[in-house]
Amino acid sequence: MADKVFVTGAGIISALGIGQEATLQALLNGESGIGKITHIQTEHEEFPVGEVALSNAEMSRMLNVGYPIDGLRTVLMGIIAAKEAIKSAGLTEKELRKAAFISGTTVGGMDKTERHFKTVFNSNVETDDSLELKYNDCGYSTELIADNIGKFNLVTTTSTACSSAANAIILGANLIKAGVIDIAVVGGSEALTKFHLNGFNTLMILDKENCRPFDKERMGINLGEGAAYIVLESETSAKARGASILGELRGYANTCDAFHQTATSENGEGAYLAMRKAMDMAHLSPQDIDYINAHGTGTPNNDETELAAMQRIWDYELPKFSSTKAFTGHTTSASGSIEAVICLLALQHGFLPKNLGWHNPMKEDAIPVIEDVDSSNVKNIINNSFGFGGNDSTLIFSEFIKENG
């Protein structure tokens, strides 16, 4: 029988701050990181976003890195978060050499591409600026992060829009269960870009106010940026290393809504299947789930269909649920791992993150977590990440119970 998969380290950077501790404090204090856009030159200043406070120059100085990384925001944030994850897991160079690094991103170095594109295009690629486009694809972004955090056995990149990081976590777990590796550093990173800010705007799903997931009056998304990685480890390896265990990745599933490139099916079929299959893998029944960290983007479509999927499983007895996107913004490709770290903080510190911005229920019984609740008995958490194209993934994190004797 395959080994259990434990989480033995975590790292995060987002609009809530750098590191697990800053993130925890912001969550406990109910302090959203959403505000005005500052790092990108855009006409669309009307859209609130969840930016990482540091500029590229500040992150580069912090990491002591130079060209080309100093111009690649996805890479800079990724290095910061991955370093924290590896440090918190206490992994040595030797252990990393046998590990996998899997990162999810869709944007990669598009922030850099869009700064140089006009010059390169207008010059018909005769300008030396064209060399600035070399390291900007998804794979290079991941490799630049990897090269700055360790030497790995296997490195690759998932790219499924808003479920990218969740799918990186799933691949890591599958590789561990298959015995290919014992340790995987997995997650994702995504920087805000003019490209996708405008892209989402063309779909008319951005909110000009702070977003209100699961609220009757919700109008759309606040985009965000950030990076987060967790260290997955086989039970055997974690015990042999005496690693401290943050939780267990008890179940997971990846399904496809197969309905439309940007809209979700009315009954949330993909979401329903993802949650059901993850629970099946975890050998948990719906009653065992204590909290759902919903995808909850704040769009009329997502929240309606995600709630419909939840009600297909739990009917009127929904577990406690909330979306944390009103804290961090929708961090797109990184959201699966950023929210995984939030779930792990919740498990370890006995609290449930609030659903900020909420005032009125969509349906009578659909009231998310809006105040402090008794979380002493929270053992199993569902973390949903649903991407464009119906790429739906669910992760289940469970409390690690130390065996006696």
Partner 1 sequence: MENLILQLKNQIIEVLNLEDMTAEDIDAEAPLFGDGLGLDSIDALELIVLLEREYGIKLSNPAEGKQIFKSIASIADYVSKNRKK
Partner 2 sequence: MANRCFINSLAQVSCQKPLSDEWFDSPCLYSEDYVRAQDPDTKGLIVPSEARRMSKILKRTVSTAITALNNSEIKNPDAIITGTGMGCMENSEKFLIDLSRFGENCLKPTLFMQSTHNTISSLIAIILKCHGYNNTYSHKGISFESSLLDAWIQMKSGMIRNALIGAHDEVTPFMDLVLERTHPEYSLVSEASVSVVLTNSMSSNNICEVVEIKLFHRPDIKELAHLLDKNTDNVLLLGVNGNTLNDKPYENFLKALSYKPHTLQYKNIFGENFSASALGFYVGAKILEKQMIPPFLSWNNENGYTGNLEYITILNQSDDTTWSMIRLKRV
Binders of partner 2 among 159-198, rule CB under 8 A?
159-161, 167, 171, 174-175, 177-180, 194-196, 198
Closest C-alpha among 308, 354, 302 to residue 327: 354
Partner in contact with 131, chosen from partner 2, partner 1, none, beta carbon below 5 to 8 Å by kind: partner 2
Give min distance, CB of 300 to partner 1, in A. Answer: 9
Q: Is 142 in the site for partner 2 (CB under 8 A)?
A: yes
Give min distance, CB of 24 to partner 2, in A. Answer: 31
* CA atoms of 134 and 139, how far apart (whole Å): 11
> Given the complex with partner 1, which of 41 and 202 has the nearer CB atom?
202
Q: Is 155 in the site for partner 2 (CB under 8 A)?
A: yes
- Asked whether the beta carbons of 106 and 159 are under 8 A apart, the reply is yes
* CA atoms of 239 and 246, how far apart (whole Å): 13
> Given the complex with partner 2, which of 77 and 175 has the nearer CB atom?
175
Closest C-alpha among 344, 271, 279, 258 to residue 304: 271
Figure out which of the listed residues 125, 236, 285, 349 binds partner 2, where binding follows CB under 8 A.
125
Q: Which residue has the tokens 């990218």?
A: 164
Phi, psi of 211 (to 5 degrees): -70, 155
- DSSP codes, 297-308: -S-HHHHHHHHH
Phi, psi of 146 (to 5 degrees): -55, -45
Burial (CB < 10 A; 0-12, 13-18, 19+), residue 314, is middle
- Asked whether the beta carbons of 327 and 339 are under 8 A apart, the reply is no
Chain positions 243 to 272 lying near partner 1, rule: CB under 8 A, are 260-263
> Given the complex with partner 2, which of 61 and 118 has the nearer CB atom?
118
Partner in contact with 201, chosen from partner 2, partner 1, none, beta carbon below 5 to 8 Å by kind: partner 2
> Given the complex with partner 2, which of 268 and 319 has the nearer CB atom?
268
Figure out which of the listed residues 8, 23, 106, 323 binds partner 2, where binding follows CB under 8 A.
106
Q: Is 29 in the site for partner 1 (CB under 8 A)?
A: no
Of the listed pieces 217-225, 249-257, 355-363, 396-404, which binds partner 2 according to CB under 8 A?
249-257
Q: Which residue has the tokens 């606040």?
A: 222
* CA atoms of 216 and 114, how far apart (whole Å): 36
Give min distance, CB of 404 to partner 2, in A. Answer: 31
Partner in contact with 263, chosen from partner 2, partner 1, none, beta carbon below 5 to 8 Å by kind: partner 1
Q: Is 93 in the site for partner 2 (CB under 8 A)?
A: no
* CA atoms of 260 and 150, how far apart (whole Å): 39
Chain positions 190 to 229 lying near partner 1, rule: CB under 8 A, are 202-204
Looking at residue 131, the DSSP 8-state letter turns out to be G
Rg (CA), the chain: 20
Figure out which of the listed residues 257, 290, 303, 339 binds partner 2, where binding follows CB under 8 A.
257
Residues lying near partner 1 in the complex (CB under 8 A): 202-204, 260-263
